[in-house]
Structure 1
Amino acid sequence: MTEVTPALAREAWRLAEPLHAMIYFVPESRERFDALGIGATAGYFASRGGALGPSGPGPVVATFYNFNPELVAGALPAAWRTTTPAAALAARLDAADAALTRGLGDAVESPEVAEAAELARLATESATAYAAGRPLFAAHAALDWPDRPHLVLWHAVTVLREFRGDGHVAALLVAGLTGLQSMVLHTASGQVNGEFLRASRGWSREQWAEQAAVLRERGLLDGEELSDRGRELRARIEDDTDRLALPAYEVLGAERCGRLAELVRPLSRTLVKAGFLAAAAPQRK
């Protein structure tokens, strides 16, 4: 079995990511969180953070990493006076079911989705051997698996995303970057919608500007653009993140990892073309 490279594992993650990420933008999520009486923002923290149990803001601030603590504190633990972690998680899964069915149509019942689900689940279950130091992944990995293939795929991609995310947080810590600083640097790369990141994470323009100034003092920004040092640091962080994410995919070997990427590519492309992730698209300059 040919070994999986970090680049191949990253490609499998990148091509599958829209299948998970769409849950943060689709109306199905807002509708179900509204039905719980908690609204979209609280629903996000309650459903993703619900894997940690009925906690206050502390564990969510720590593990999500880049949100303004005041935004999180406005949602938790208040949401637990209205709903429960189990209900929030169930609402998110139900939203994923409805959104994927709407976006992919008959493809949710296809052999390709079933095959992708099998491969992604294998990677996810293998990753549990590397759960140490990955609290958000470990919490999600302990959740029950859904039954239907398209939901197995969604759940697996979601848990694998948390596996990679925990490793990314570790890489940011080693690099000496706060969550807000990491977003400022990411925005300077031109790859993301900075205004969306800032507003959705609850940071003011003043707070953003303050941290941009700190990064300039560190020589990581040149004006609003990445400096050479900034590009080098971002490249190192991404390399570290890829390396830390690799163990989840090694069980597949290169051939099956490539097959997973091949299977999810058209599914994710369909969702992106349908505007399921439009809010997070990079701004045109």
Structure 2
Amino acid sequence: MKAARAAWRRLEPVHAMIYFAPEGTRRYADLGLSRRAGYFASRSAAFGRASAELVISTFYNFNPAFVRQAVVGAWDATTPQQVLDARYAAAGEALRRAGIHELPALDEVLALARRAAEAACEHPQGRPLFAAHAALPWPEEPVLQLWHAQTLLREFRGDGHVACLLSEGVGGLEALVLDAARGEVPVDFLKASRAWPEEEWAGTKERLRKRGLLEGDCLSSEGVLLRRHIEDRTDRLALAAYAALGDADCERLAELADPFGRAVVEAGLLKLG
């Protein structure tokens, strides 16, 4: 399980950069979409003309009013296929800018990541966002194949994570506040990107304190245990993909993926804001 998590985590920047790279913002703007609408439309376009309610249910931790405001009119301005095309074009452009296509281990990393992603495709049940992306055709270009593979692995893990949060009675805003209490992601970024009103954020913090999960602004010992429990369960639910590799190939993927993640970071593709 530890090797599988390392394999996912080290390659994750290859997928995650699409939410921050300016290439995406420009491509979506060309379709008449604001940055906010571009994010929701591009990630949900695999569903087709996704409603705000579908996005709210699958994205989980965004303020529903914010989602409705961003999604309304998106599919009047463009089509899901146009958005998907723009997303892939932006991903390829950004990753090439980072030099991913020139890394010597590309073929081996792609082969390993694709094996895991294809294994995940045998287990779509209960994972709606993953299943929608799994139905998309594989791109032809190796760099985009790698991005697609990691996208599948990310959404596979993400759907499992949402299931864990639900089973533990942790709502979307509660999950954000608990995440903020770890201190690894700036609180201001989480508040701005998920658009929860300050009073709701403060009220949720107070409820979590009463549940014994927070002490002040930090996780309590009970909160630390709950977070660890949720992350461990999420890891276990993601094993269906990485079991196809086995520990040795998971370790190999983690080792080879490190320069890919670093290239994305060094190219500035993960700048928050």
TM-score, normalised to structure 1, is: 0.93
Query: Distance in 2 between the 1:137 and 1:95 partners?
Result: 20
Offset of residue 278 of structure 1:
2.5
Query: Distance in 2 between the 1:95 and 1:274 partners?
Result: 15
Could you tell me whether the CA contact under 8 Å between 2:97 and 2:267 is conserved in 1?
A: no
Identity %: 53
Residue of structure 2 aligned with 1:26, choices 21, 28, 31: 21
Deviations 1:46-86 (A, max 9, x none): 11011111021111100110011111111224100010111
2:183 counterpart residue number: 190
Residue of structure 2 aligned with 1:35, choices 26, 30, 35: 30
Query: Distance in 2 between the 1:92 and 1:39 partners?
Result: 14
Query: Distance in 1 between the 2:134 and 2:263 partners?
Result: 27
Runs of 4+, deviation exceeding 4 Å: none
- Structure 2 CA distance for partners of 1:278 and 1:76, relative to 1, 3 Å: closer
1:131 counterpart SS class: coil
Query: Distance in 2 between the 1:194 and 1:159 partners?
Result: 28
Offset of residue 263 of structure 1:
1.7
1:68 counterpart residue number: 63
Figure out how many residues of one structure are paired with residues of the other and give that number.
273
1:16 counterpart residue number: 11
TM-score, normalised to structure 2, is: 0.97
1:176 counterpart SS class: coil
1:213 counterpart residue number: 206
The aligned amino acid for 2:180 is: T
Query: Distance in 2 between the 1:141 and 1:99 partners?
Result: 22
The aligned amino acid for 2:125 is: A
Deviations 1:122-180 (A, max 9, x none): 11111112110000000000001111111100010011100000000011001111111
Of residues 195-204 and 231-240 in structure 1, the stretch that sits farther from structure 2 once superposed is 195-204
Offset of residue 113 of structure 1:
1.1
Deviations 1:13-57 (A, max 9, x none): 100111111111111011001100012110111110111110211
Matches within 5 A, 1:110-259: 110-259=103-252
Matches within 5 A, 1:88-127: 88-104=83-99, 107-127=100-120
Could you tell me whether the CA contact under 8 Å between 1:109 and 1:149 is conserved in 2?
A: no
Of residues 219-228 and 110-119 in structure 1, the stretch that sits farther from structure 2 once superposed is 110-119
2:46 counterpart residue number: 51
Offset of residue 110 of structure 1:
4.2
> What 5-or-longer segments of structure 2 have no aligned partner?
none
Could you tell me whether the CA contact under 8 Å between 1:119 and 1:256 is conserved in 2?
A: yes
Query: Distance in 2 between the 1:97 and 1:36 partners?
Result: 18
1:278 counterpart SS class: coil
Deviations 1:194-221 (A, max 9, x none): 2111110111222111110110111100
Residue of structure 2 aligned with 1:83, choices 72, 78, 94: 78
Residue of structure 1 aligned with 2:262, choices 263, 269, 272: 269
